[in-house]
Amino acid sequence: MTKCVHFFRIQILLFAVFESPILAQDKPFPFQARNAIYLELGGSNPLYSLNYDRIIATSPKLNWLFGYRAGGSLAGVKLMQSRVVGQLYALLGQRKNHLELGLSSSVGRNYDTNYPGAGSANIFVSPVIAYRLQEPRGPSCFRVIVNPFIVLNSQENSRSRGVFFGISFGRSF
């Protein structure tokens, strides 16, 4: 008997949570252009990165949008550098002007093509503060980024700090 009562309590609780008006969206999703592909100069990568960006959720009452991005870069001829970037972010704003706040992580590897076994790896951890200009229906995306960062160097067990600035432009769809 108690298992049956416990089962129904769980069902009622789940129904109350998933049918809650707090989770329902009163307005339609403000961004029809939820995806973006863009080139970023500077920012989380010292030189450049190619990125895919996706807006995944919204909070209409607060005018917040939430999303993620993934990207990477490859640079150099003799001394190569490869880097992979991931970021979670929130956008605050209406229409086309937004403040972007997020957390970025970048994993990189430096290596010399003459010495295949030699090289160093590092991890960048960085909060992201950006201005984003993006129309809700697209077709373009523009960002100006400030990235204060901490570098965790795997070989030297050292840490360094600094600030990267960046600019990105691309296509939203």
pLDDT tens, position by position, for the chain (173 residues)?
Answer: 554 444 455 555 545 444 444 444 455 556 678 899 999 998 877 688 899 999 988 877 777 888 999 998 887 766 677 888 899 999 998 788 999 999 988 888 877 767 776 777 778 788 999 999 998 888 999 999 998 877 766 555 566 778 889 999 999 99
pLDDT in the model for residue 10: 54
Compute the residue count for the chain. 173
Residue 1 lies in a domain: no
Residue 69 CB neighbour total at 10 angstroms = 22
Residue 9 lies in a domain: no
pLDDT in the model for residue 158: 61
Cα 124 from chain centroid (whole Å): 14
Give the range of the structural domain holding residue 59, as residue numbers without chain letter. Answer: 27-172
Residue 3 lies in a domain: no
Residue 16 lies in a domain: no
Residue 20 lies in a domain: no
Residue 153 lies in a domain: yes
- Pairing between β-strand 35-42 and β-strand 97-112 as defined by DSSP bridges: unpaired
Given CA atoms 161, 163, 168, 173 in this order, what sign does their dihedral have?
A: positive
Residue 112 lies in a domain: yes
* Number of domains into which the chain is organized: 1
108: nearest Cα among 25, 18, 44, 22 = 44
Evaluate whether 82 touches 74 at the Cβ level (below 8 Å).
Answer: yes
| Domain at 114, CATH number | 2.40.160
